Structure 1
Amino acid sequence: MDEKYDYIVLGTGLKECILSGMLSVSGKKILHMDRNKYYGGESASITPLEDFYRLDMFKRGETATIPERFGRGRDWNVDLIPKFLMADGQLVKMLIYTGVTRYLEFKSVEGSYVYKGGKIFKVPADEKEALASSLMGLFEKRRFRNFLIFAQEFEEDNPATWKEIDPKTSTASDVYKKFGVDTNTTDFTGHAIALYLNDDYMKKPGSAVELLKRCKLYSGSLARYGKSPYLYPLYGLGELPQGFARLSAIYGGTYMLDRPDAEIVFEDGVAVGVKAAGETAHCTGVVCDPSYCKEKGKKVGEVVRAICIMNHPIPNTKDNQSCQVIIPQHQVNRKSDIYICVVSHAHQVCSKGYYLAIVSTTVETENPEEELKPGLDLLGSLEDKFVYVSDLIMPTDDGKDSKVFMTKSYDATTHFETTCEDVLDTFQRIMGEPFDMGKVQHMKLESEECQ
C-alpha cells in the first residue's frame, strides 16, 4: 500500500463513489477505502435481512432473527437512506456521462403524491393533469395551468418569454402572485414539484428562475417514462455506489474494504496520506464522508427515519408497487416536510407480497419518532418498524488549505438532487473548476436499462 496517489477516498457512500468515479475518469490515480466490509457506507443497501435486523443502531442484538413469513433473507435489500432518481436529473446525467448505466437496471416509480387535508393526491405535472386534479377548484386549475405553461416556455436567455419576470431580481413569490395561485397551490408546487425542503426559497432575489427550472425538471422527468418523474434501481440503491466503484476500478482505481483503523495522516495541518494496518499511502488530498474527519465538520441538525415492512401498498395510491408521498410542512404545522417513499418486490428489494416504506423528516423536537406520525398514519398496518436518528453534518473546511474534502450528510429528501449538488460542489473544491455537465448527452437510458 506504500504508494503515492492523487487522492485517497474514505467511505464508499454514494457521494464518495461518484466522486471517485469522476476523479478517475478525469485521469486521477485513486485509492478508495472503507472501514466496513460492504459498499455503501451510510447509504448502503443491507442484505440479507438478518444483517439488517442485527445492525447496532436498531439495538436488537447480534442474534436477532427474522420472522419466517418474510421468506428468504437474501431476497431483501434494505436501503438505509432511500431516495429516488429524477429521470431527467443530475444523477441520471452523471450515470450516462460516466457510463455507469451499463452496470444498472432501473424501473420507473409508479406514482408521485402530495398530502393535503388528511388525504393524498396525485401530483399534477402538466396542463392535462392540472385540469383533472381534485387538488384544486375549477378557477384555481386554470390559474395553475397557466403557471405550468409559463414555466415550460420560460427561457432565461430569451426576454420574450419573461412576461414581466426579471431573472435577476424576481422572487418565486413574485411568480406565484403573477398567476394568482392560492396558498395550497403554492404549497404543492414548491414542495412536491419543485422539491424545496422548506419555504426559505420564496423571497430570495432571483429565486423565480430556480423555481421555474425545478418545475421544468419535474415535468421533463415525467415525460421520460410517464408514470412519475422518478426511477429506482433494481436490487436497491446499494447498486449505485458499486457501479461507480466499478467505473473507478476500470480507470485504475484501487479499492480496499474492511479497513476499520483507516485514519488521515496530517503534516502541518495538511492531509498527506492515510494510514491503515500499519502502512501509509500518500496522496495530494483526501476525500471523505463526515465520519472520517469529525473535527472538520459541524452538526447542523438531525434526520429521523422509520424503515417499515408492510404486506400491502399504501392505501389510496391505486395499489402502486412504488411511490413517493410528500407532506408539505404547512399541512402538519411544521418547519420542514415529511417524506415517504415506497418500494417493493417489483424492485427485487424484498420477498414477494411485501413492501418497504421509509418515512423521513428533519428533527424539530425532543421526540423525533412522534414527528413521523403524520407519515406513518398514511401507511396502514405494519409488519415491523425500525426507527433511527442520524446527525446532519456540514463541512467547516473547504479543503483548499487542509486538502481534506468532506461531503455533507444525507438530508431527509427522497430524491437525489441535493446529493448531486453536494457532489458537484465537492468536485469543484477538489479540482478548482466545475464538472462540465454540458458534456452529458441529452438522452434516455437505454430501454433495457429502464423498465
Structure 2
Amino acid sequence: MNEEYDVIVLGTGLTECILSGIMSVKGKKVLHMDRNSYYGGDSASITPLEDLYKRFSLPGTPPESMGKGRDWNVDLIPKFLMANGQLVRMLLITQVTRYLDFKVIEGSFVYKKGSIYKVPSTETEALASSLMGLFEKRRFRKFLVFVANFDEKDPKTMEGVDPNKTTMREVYKKFDLGQDVIDFTGHAIALYRTDDYLDQPCLDTINRIKLYSESLARYGKSPYLYPLYGLGELPQGFARLSAIYGGTYMLNKPIEEIIVENGKIVGVKSEGEIARCKQLICDPSYIMDRAKVVGKVIRVICVLSHPIKNTSDSNSCQIIIPQNQVNRKHDIYVCMISYAHNVAAQGKYIAIASTTVETNDPEKEIKPALDLLEPIEQKFVSISDLYAPTDLGTDSQIFISRSYDATTHFETTCDDIKDIYKRMTGTDFDFAEMERKKNDIFGDGGDQ
C-alpha cells in the first residue's frame, strides 16, 4: 500500500474497470481497490439467489421452485451490448473477449397501442411487419436505403439533407413517415430515450440507425449481445487485463480517507496506510461531495417461469415502450434473459424493467412494462439516484464516473469512459491507437 501510483481506482464498476485496464495497457502503474468483497459495484451480478433476497431485504429464503441458489447470476443493472458498438470494440481491441462467451439476444420488440411487435430487422421483415400499412412500408424502406447510403463526405448521397443543419423532424417529413413509424425508429432503432432529438441536426440519428443496422448485420436475430453468466463478467475481464499489465487489485478494502492537499489529490488512506497517486478514478459513492443528483431510475427485477407473451417464446429479448405510447417523457425498457445464459435455474427467466422516474409514484410509471410480464413469480424493486460529477478533475485530478442510466445498452457508459479518458490525458480516446498498442503487446496472437 505505502507506494506511489500513477492512478488509483476506487470501485470495480464497469466504467472503473475499463479505465483501469486501459491505463494499465498505457503503461501506468495502477492500484485498484473496492470496499466490497465482489466485483462490479452497482453493475454487479448477484449470486447465489439468497444474496439477492438479502440485498432487497425480502423475508425468508427463495422457494424451492426457484431451483438451486447458485444457478442464479442476477444483474442489478440490465444492459445489452450493441454487436458493432463501442464496448464490443473495446473488448476486441483489449482481447478481453478471450475471457468471455457471448450469446445473441433473440429479438427486439417495440410497444404500440398495448401490444408488442418485433422491430423489423431486415427489408423482408419490414415488408411483413404489422407495425405499418403497405404504403408506410414502402416509405420506410426508402428511408432505410437513404440512411444506409448516407455519407457525410459525399453530398451526392445526401438528397439535399444537410447533416449539420437539417433536423431529424424534417428528414422524417421528407419521407412522409407517420407518428408510429417515427416512434419506433427514434426509440427502438436509434435508441433515444426522449423526443428531444427531433429538433436537433440529423447526423447523430443517422449514425445511430447505421450502428443498429450494422450491429444487426453481424448476427441477424438482433443487434444485441449478452455475456454468459451475466454482466458481472465484464468488469472481471477488464480487471484481468489490468492485472496482466501489472495493475494491483484489492477487494474488501475500506476506504478511510481520500487525501486532497491544496485542491489536488495526493492519495488514499485505507486501514491506516496511505497509497499516493497523481490521479484518482472513482464512482460517485466514494466522494459524494463532488457529485450531484441528476435524476432517478426505477428498476424492477422479475423472476418468471415463462417466456414473455408474443415474443415467439424467445429465451432473450428487449422490449422498448416509446414514451409517446404511454404519455410519458422517457421510454420504458425491458431486458429479458434466461437459463439459456447461465443466469437462472432451468426453465426460469429474468426480466428487468427500467425507466427514468418522472413522478412521485415510480411503480405506477413502470406498470405498462410489468403488465407485459405477468404472471410474475417474484419481483425486486429498486429506485436509485443518478449522479454526475460536479468536479471534472481539471485541478483536483479526481475523475468521477456517472451513474448507469435507464438505457438497455452500453453506448452511454462508453461515452462516459471516453469523456473521463480525455479529461485525464488531454487527448481523445483513439480506438486505432489501442489497436496498434495491442499488436506491440500481444505480438502474433501469442497467448499471455
TM-score by length of 1: 0.95
Q: Deviations over 1:133-180 (max 9, x none)?
A: 110001111111001001100011111111111122111112111111
Following superposition, the deviation at residue 261 of structure 1 comes to 3.0
The answer for unaligned runs of 5 or more in structure 2 is 436-448
Partner of 1:79: 75
What letter corresponds to residue 12 of structure 1 in structure 2? Answer: T
Partner of 2:176: 180
Partner of 1:225: 219
Partner of 1:329: 323
Q: Deviations over 1:334-362 (max 9, x none)?
A: 00000000000000001000000000000
Q: Deviations over 1:279-310 (max 9, x none)?
A: 01000011011101111111011000000000
Q: Deviations over 1:43-96 (max 9, x none)?
A: 0000111111111xx2226xx411111111111000000100000000000000
Q: Is the 8 A contact 2:32 2:247 kept in 1?
A: yes
Of 272, 283, 286, the match for 2:280: 286
Partner of 1:409: 403
Indicate whether 1:437 and 2:431 are aligned: yes
Partner of 1:444: none
Determine the C-alpha separation between the residues in 1 that align with 2:97 and 2:238.
10
Partner of 2:43: 43
Following superposition, the deviation at residue 127 of structure 1 comes to 2.2
What letter corresponds to residue 199 of structure 2 in structure 1? Answer: K
Partner of 1:350: 344
Determine the C-alpha separation between the residues in 2 that align with 1:431 and 1:176.
40
Determine the C-alpha separation between the residues in 1 that align with 2:196 and 2:367.
24
Of 102, 106, 109, the match for 1:106: 102
Q: Which deviates more from structure 2 when the two are superposed, residues 334-343 or residues 264-273?
A: 264-273
Following superposition, the deviation at residue 440 of structure 1 comes to 6.7
Partner of 2:384: 390
Partner of 2:18: 18
Matches within 5 A, 1:12-411: 12-55=12-55, 58-60=56-58, 64-204=60-200, 206=201, 208-411=202-405
Q: Is the 8 A contact 2:121 2:222 kept in 1?
A: no
Determine the C-alpha separation between the residues in 1 that align with 2:73 and 2:33.
23
RMSD of the TM alignment (CA)? 1.0
Following superposition, the deviation at residue 380 of structure 1 comes to 1.6
Determine the C-alpha separation between the residues in 2 that align with 1:407 and 1:359.
23
Determine the C-alpha separation between the residues in 2 that align with 1:144 and 1:301.
35
Following superposition, the deviation at residue 109 of structure 1 comes to 0.4
SS of structure 1 residue aligned to 2:268:
strand
Q: Structure 2 vs 1, CA of residues 440 and 400 (structure 1 numbering), >3 Å: closer, same or farther?
A: closer
Following superposition, the deviation at residue 262 of structure 1 comes to 4.3
What letter corresponds to residue 150 of structure 1 in structure 2? Answer: F
SS of structure 1 residue aligned to 2:281:
strand
Q: Is the 8 A contact 1:127 1:149 kept in 2?
A: no
Determine the C-alpha separation between the residues in 2 that align with 1:43 and 1:263.
24
Partner of 1:5: 5
Determine the C-alpha separation between the residues in 2 that align with 1:220 and 1:262.
47
Q: Is the 8 A contact 1:96 1:440 kept in 2?
A: no
Q: Deviations over 1:188-220 (max 9, x none)?
A: 00000000111111112x3x1111111111011
Determine the C-alpha separation between the residues in 2 that align with 1:79 and 1:49.
11
What letter corresponds to residue 32 of structure 2 in structure 1? Answer: H
SS of structure 2 residue aligned to 1:340:
strand
Determine the C-alpha separation between the residues in 2 that align with 1:133 and 1:431.
48
Identity of aligned residues (%): 64
Determine the C-alpha separation between the residues in 2 that align with 1:73 and 1:242.
21
Q: Deviations over 1:384-422 (max 9, x none)?
A: 000010101111111010111001000001111111111
Following superposition, the deviation at residue 439 of structure 1 comes to 4.7
What letter corresponds to residue 193 of structure 2 in structure 1? Answer: L
SS of structure 1 residue aligned to 2:237:
helix
Determine the C-alpha separation between the residues in 2 that align with 1:79 and 1:275.
31
Q: Is the 8 A contact 1:263 1:292 kept in 2?
A: no
Q: Is the 8 A contact 2:322 2:332 kept in 1?
A: yes
What letter corresponds to residue 407 of structure 2 in structure 1? Answer: T
Determine the C-alpha separation between the residues in 2 that align with 1:439 and 1:339.
35
Determine the C-alpha separation between the residues in 1 that align with 2:257 and 2:194.
37
Determine the C-alpha separation between the residues in 1 that align with 2:363 and 2:392.
34
Q: Deviations over 1:87-145 (max 9, x none)?
A: 00000000001110000000000010000000000001332221111100011111110
Q: Which deviates more from structure 2 when the two are superposed, residues 429-438 or residues 78-87?
A: 429-438
Q: Is the 8 A contact 1:218 1:229 kept in 2?
A: yes
- Residue-pair matches, total: 435
Runs of 4+ in structure 1 off by over 4 angstroms are none
Q: Is the 8 A contact 1:125 1:218 kept in 2?
A: no
What letter corresponds to residue 347 of structure 2 in structure 1? Answer: G
SS of structure 1 residue aligned to 2:372:
coil
What letter corresponds to residue 318 of structure 1 in structure 2? Answer: S
Q: Is the 8 A contact 2:255 2:268 kept in 1?
A: no
Determine the C-alpha separation between the residues in 2 that align with 1:157 and 1:25.
34
Determine the C-alpha separation between the residues in 2 that align with 1:422 and 1:197.
17
